Amino acid sequence: MFAMGGPVRRRARGILNALAIHRPPEVDRRLARMRTLVERADPSLFEAGDLTPHEFKVFSQNGEDGVIVEIFNRIGVTNRFFVEFGIQTGVEGNCVLLADVLGWSGLFIEADRDDFEHLQRKYDGTAVSTLHEFVTADRFDAILAAAGVPEEPDLLSIDIDGNDLYVWDALHQFRPRVVIVEYNSGVWVDAPVAQPHEPTRGWDGTGAYGANLAALEVVAARQGYRLAHTDLAGVNAFFVRDDLFPDLGVDRVPRRSQNYGLTGITRPPATPEGGWQRIGE
């Protein structure tokens, strides 16, 4: 069992930082070149209408910023309120552009105390609230209610490298219009699976974490959402609520596995202790 925070998370963060020395510049270059070509391309070149051409990075890890903007361009906004957890220091995240540039209000939640202190200082005195909290499935509704989150926030982003699926599946009092969840595209199992649900388990630095895309789609269906996009890196899945999906106007939805050209991840697949848990059975 690996608890969030403490030496395990610092070690895992060190691995990511080491990868960042080599990976992000190439990711940025590829996304920038893609943007240039997309702007030059005649519409007749595009075989089908998905959201890939709109990927663009400002503060997100990959192209999530551009996809988020395009989704809300199409379905509109209501309260301009977001919730994101697993945000670390607030330097990089799916909702940082919304908070820092577009002026949205929202809630950032972070479990690691050192990261939270940076996050709290950054957003002190702004329309964005910060919360030092370890989110678990059984307490998620209560945490959001205590923080005064609207019942239908425009966006919810979940990235905790572990129990993401179980946390989303436990959400009952709130109906975000758009949900972004990180998935494990390196799971080599031809079935909807996730790591066993252990509330205190966090990422141990291996590929034995989280859930595959098929498992997230099972949860999305029973929560009333449809898959709208997966990013080029094969990291984030974007879901739009059923009643809003027709406004999105996508002709197809890519379901991506690991894209080594963007992520740089080459570690072999791993299996969590206790094996992969099948979802939906």
> ∠ at Cα 105 (103, 110), nearest 5°?
115
Predicted pLDDT of residue 264: 65
Residue 256 vs residue 202, higher pLDDT: 256
> ∠ at Cα 227 (226, 231), nearest 5°?
160
H/E element, 135: none
Q: Helix 6-20 vs helix 23-40: angle between axes, to the nearest 10 degrees?
A: 60
Overall average pLDDT of the 53-75 stretch = 93
For 27-57, what is each residue's pLDDT tens digit? 778 778 888 888 888 877 777 689 998 998 8
Architecture of domain 6-278: 3-Layer(aba) Sandwich (3.40)
Three-class SS of residue 23?
A: helix
> ∠ at Cα 186 (97, 234), nearest 5°?
30
Q: b vs e for 207-233, b when ≥16 Cβ sit within 10 Å of the residue's Cβ?
A: bbbbbbbbbbbbbbeebebbbbbbbbb
Overall average pLDDT of the 214-240 stretch = 96
Predicted pLDDT of residue 143: 96
Predicted pLDDT of residue 186: 85
Mean pLDDT (the chain, rounded): 87
- Reference 216, options 185, 258, 248; nearest CA is 185
| Domain ranges within the chain, ordered by starting residue | 6-278
* pLDDT band at residue 11 using 50, 70 and 90 as cut-offs: low
Q: What is the value of pTM for the model shown? A: 0.87
Distance of CA 111 to the CA centre of its chain: 16
* pLDDT band at residue 203 using 50, 70 and 90 as cut-offs: confident
